[in-house]
Amino acid sequence: MYRYMKVKFCALLKMQSFSPPDVTSSTEMLEEEFVCGVCCDLMVIPTTLNCGHSFCRHCLARWFDVGKKTECPICRKSFAGCPMENKHMMNSLEKLFEVKYRKRKEEVLDDKDNKQAIQEFEKILEKRHRSDNLSATSCGFLMGIVLVLLIIVCFYMAFYWGSGEFNLLVKKPLIKWTVTDVESWLEDQGLQSYREVFRDVGVNGRMLSEVEADDLESMFNMTNSLHRRMFLHSLNHAITHGVKQPTNLWEYKALNSAHAVFLLYCMNMTPRLCTLYLYRYDYDNYVLYRNYVQTCNVTAQDDGLSSWLFQAGSIFMPHYIQAKFVYCFKDVHYWTSRILLMQCLIRTLLDLISIGTVSRTLTPKDVLHPIIKFTVYYLVSSVWWILPTIIADAIFYLELYFGLFFVINELYNKLVHPNR
């Protein structure tokens, strides 16, 4: 009996100590989740932006009316088009705070200034949205036409110039050279003053391969020792390899098609990795590249210092170094060199913009992205021979001549839409 009374007494104490939850406190905590960040009151016609923040529609309209900017009042991120009302949030407000929400909504909408601000806000943004959609459609249509024309032009250039590659001396064996070919070869070596002498003698490729050092002065009146050394060096290369040594872009591409495309894309997209690759695995081309840059620099220092300056420039301003290299061929490739110089200038500006952005938000993706791109270019160039010649040439000319439009578009997007 005593034990039964004790259990009953404990149960009674528990019932007395139990109290219902504080409903008022819970409601207030819940109401804080529906407070507008502008007016700090319960939201009316809640409107959610792209960034996730929600506001009263009239508060958002008045914010837009002050600055005429389509950006979030809290995080300042831009939003596009006319933001829609959040129906789900509005239904929740009507159910949870039925009386308070209805009263506040009447107060807000009874104010003529609020109603007018909302109407102007929706009218202006809907007009902008329609205009943007129309512009995007027109721009997309025009870009499609331009892209088709670019492809047609690239294939035409590939067919027209590709068919002429077989006539280049770098593809023509030395023993098949004609007298005209020998004259062209002399001009490429900077020995055009001896063209008439070789033409009068009737020297063709077979005869040229038999010319010796003693014959140059006696038969061809080549008295300058520097000219003789240059002539013999170029002739020995032609005899050893069977073809002429490339002296311009077209000849180098005709002889090394895959490598030319690889260098063109990598020097544009990942110049630092490309220079490192040349230094480590293709040192002959690296030395040729460095020597051209140093030779064209009128104020070149001694070899040691200029070499260090070249390496520093390849790391910090690689496109500037490329511009110096391209400048060496300004007389040989008039329009091509100008187009490439413009590309180098714009890519240098893009580099400076990217450095400012990456220095603030550097992620592993920023480091891995250029490495992945370089690897893809290398793998594609390794199987370049699989592609038909006309398609391969079209890809080359697309990057060479129309890459300028792509970098201009990239610069425009960086300046106009920096947060993208």
Alpha helices by DSSP H, 191-333: 195-201, 205-208, 213-220, 225-241, 249-255, 257-269, 271-281, 283-296, 303-316, 318-327
**pLDDT at 1 > cutoff 70:** no
Q: Which of 274, 272, 273 shows the shortest CA–CA distance to 260?
A: 274
pLDDT, one tens digit per residue, over 220-264 is 888 888 888 888 888 888 888 877 888 888 888 888 888 888 888
Confidence category of residue 165, pLDDT binned at 50, 70, 90: low
pLDDT over threshold 90, residue 147: no
Task: Provide DSSP, 118-169.
Answer: HHHHHHHHHHHHHHHHHHHHHHHHHHHHHHHHHHHHHHHHHHHHHHHGGGST
Q: Which residue has the higher pLDDT, 6 or 385?
A: 385
For the chain, which domains are there? 35-167 (3.30.40.10), 174-241 (1.10.150.50), 249-416 (no CATH)
pLDDT mean over 302-309: 68
Do 389 and 162 touch, CB atoms closer than 8 A? yes
Q: Are 269 and 371 in contact (CB under 8 A)?
A: no
Q: How confident is the model at residue 18 (pLDDT cuts 50, 70, 90)?
A: very low
Q: Is the CB of residue 236 less than 8 Å from the CB of residue 213?
A: no
Residue whose tokens read 């920096």: 418
Q: Flag whether pLDDT at 343 surpasses 90.
A: yes
Work out the percent of the chain whose per-residue pLDDT is above 90. Answer: 3
Rounded to an integer, what distance in angstroms lies between the CA atom of residue 115 and that of residue 109? Answer: 6
pLDDT higher than 70, residue 25: no
User: Looking at the predicted structure, is the pLDDT value of residue 205 above 50?
Assistant: yes
Mean pLDDT of 151-162: 65
For the cut 80, the answer to whether the pLDDT of residue 3 exceeds it is no
pLDDT at residue number 9: 39
pLDDT at 297: 55
Which tokens go with 200? 């009068």
Average pLDDT over residues 32-44: 83
- Average pLDDT over every residue of 286-295: 79
- Higher pLDDT among residues 86 and 12, named by residue: 86
> What SS3 class is residue 108?
helix
Q: Using pLDDT thresholds of 50, 70 and 90, give the confidence band for residue 138.
A: low
Whether the pLDDT of residue 323 is over 60: the answer is yes
User: What's the mean pLDDT in 175-204?
Assistant: 86
Cβ contacts of 315 within 8 Å, gap of 6 or more: 272
Lowest mean pLDDT among 2-16, 25-39, 172-186, 188-202: 2-16
Predicted confidence (pLDDT) per residue in 87-133, tens digit: 888 888 888 887 888 888 888 888 888 888 888 888 888 877 776 66
Whether the pLDDT of residue 345 is over 90: the answer is yes
Tokens (6 digits) for 76: 């300042």
Higher pLDDT, 136 or 77: 77
Q: What is the pLDDT of residues 82-97, one digit of tens each?
A: 888 888 888 888 888 8
Other beta carbons within 10 angstroms of residue 91's beta carbon come to 10
Give dist(CA 349, CA 320) in Å, integer. Answer: 10
Least confident of 15-29, 188-202, 315-329: 15-29
* Cβ contacts of 324-330, under 8 Å, gap ≥ 24: 324/293, 324/296, 324/297, 325/289, 325/292, 325/293, 325/296, 327/296, 328/292, 328/293, 328/295, 328/296, 329/248, 329/249
174 burial level (CB within 10 Å; 0-12, 13-18, 19+): buried
Q: What is the pLDDT of residues 399-416, one digit of tens each?
A: 888 888 888 888 888 887
Q: Is the pLDDT of residue 178 over 80?
A: yes
CB under 8 Å, gap of 24 or more: what pairs does 1-7 form?
A: none
Check residue 298 and give its pLDDT: 47
Residue 5 has pLDDT above 70, yes or no: no
Contact 254, 170 (CB under 8 A): yes
Higher-pLDDT residue of 273, 218: 273
Mean pLDDT lowest among 136-145, 236-245, 309-318: 136-145
- Other C-beta atoms lying within 10 Å of the C-beta of residue 287: 12
